């Protein structure tokens, strides 16, 4: 299946990447955005130049696709959804992520390829090998740089949803039933087993400060800060 995918794949650029690339993953409401805010504050305090971005979205064009993808009124089939996710990612990579890494900026991304495997591959298709094959092919062909470190915030699905429910109206994904997110969670667990070096599981229970401290420990372990 997919365990052979490693970063980086075919670099389309000859400029060496100077910055570091970190993604945050996890089901709804586990605290990704909160944890990213805290990580960025720590990076700033350490004088590290960073760019905070997100998927789907992150570039002007990809943000337009995000609106369509998250709009509860959008009616598209699973393949169309998958391809739109990659169209958004392709633009985001080329316009934002690679230029930032090339100029030495750290890129902190709220969701990346693992969310596609988890949501489209497991949430929509329950880990079906054909769908997984399509996603892995798209990653190999279009994603020129995987994150060096992926922080998977792991929390029981219902606890995350309870945290998320305190917020605004549900988008097209948030409207899915609990079973969907249980499959998504299985997707993240599967990925963490497949990529034990890149994907670090973070216990997302406890206070935001506790989660943030666990994350900072992983970042300091990986890079001498
Ligand atoms: N460790 C925590 N303990 C309790 N509440 C938290 C914690 N971290 C975040 N929250 C709160 O839970 C809610 C969801 O957090 P956040 O928006 O950071 O999650 P998320 O993973 O980014 O969600 P989404 O997947 O919907 O983007 C927010 O109201 C946030 O303030
Ligand atoms: Mg968020």
Residue whose C-alpha is closest to residue 116's, from 96, 146, 156? 146
Q: Is 33 annotated as a binding residue?
A: yes
Tokens of 120: 């489209």
Position 169 scores a pLDDT of 78
Q: Which residue has the least CA distance to atom 31 on ligand 1?
A: 34
Position 168 scores a pLDDT of 72
Q: Which of 24, 28, 30, 31 to mutate to test the pocket of ligand 1 (most atoms within 8 A of CB)?
A: 31
Beta strands in 100-167 (DSSP E): 106-110, 149-154
Task: Point out the ligand 1 atom lying closest to the alpha carbon of residue 210.
Answer: 1
What is the rounded (10 degree) CA torsion for 180, 182, 188, 191? -90
pLDDT digits (tens), the chain, 225 positions: 444 454 444 444 556 678 999 999 999 999 999 999 999 999 999 999 999 999 999 999 999 999 999 999 999 999 999 999 999 999 999 999 999 999 999 999 999 999 999 999 999 999 999 999 999 999 999 999 999 999 999 999 999 999 988 777 789 998 888 999 999 999 999 999 999 999 999 999 999 999 999 999 999 999 988
Q: Is 12 annotated as a binding residue?
A: no
First to last CA, the chain: 36
pTM: 0.93
Helices 78-92 and 129-142 pack at an angle, to 10 degrees, of 20
**Domains along the chain with CATH numbers:** 21-223 (3.40.50.300)
Task: Point out the ligand 1 atom lying closest to the alpha carbon of residue 37.
Answer: 18
- 10 CA to middle of ligand 2, Å? 30
Judge if the beta carbon of residue 22 lies within 6 A of ligand 1.
Answer: no
Position 14 scores a pLDDT of 53
């Amino acid at each position: 299946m997919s365990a052979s995918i490693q970063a980086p794949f075919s670099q389309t650029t000859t400029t060496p990447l100077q910055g570091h690339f970190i993604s945050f993953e996890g089901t709804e409401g586990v605290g990704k955005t909160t944890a990213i805010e805290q990580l960025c504050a720590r990076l700033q305090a350490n004088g590290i130049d960073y760019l905070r971005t997100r998927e789907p979205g992150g570039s002007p064009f990809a943000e337009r696709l995000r609106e369509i993808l998250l709009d509860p009124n959008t009616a598209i089939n699973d393949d169309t959804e998958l391809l739109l996710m990659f169209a958004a990612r392709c633009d985001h990579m080329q316009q934002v992520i690679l230029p930032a890494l090339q100029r030495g900026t750290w890129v902190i991304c709220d969701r990346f390829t693992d969310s596609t495997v988890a949501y489209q591959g497991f949430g929509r298709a329950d880990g079906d090998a054909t769908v997984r094959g399509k996603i892995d092919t798209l990653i190999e062909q279009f994603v020129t740089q995987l994150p060096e470190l992926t922080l998977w915030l792991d929390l029981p699905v219902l606890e995350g949803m309870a945290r998320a429910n305190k917020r605004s109206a549900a988008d097209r994904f948030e409207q899915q039933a609990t079973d969907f997110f249980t499959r998504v969670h299985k997707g993240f667990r599967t990925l963490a087993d497949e990529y034990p070096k890149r994907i670090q599981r973070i216990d997302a229970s406890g206070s935001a400060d506790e989660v943030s401290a666990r994350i900072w420990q992983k970042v300091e372990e990986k890079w001498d800060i």
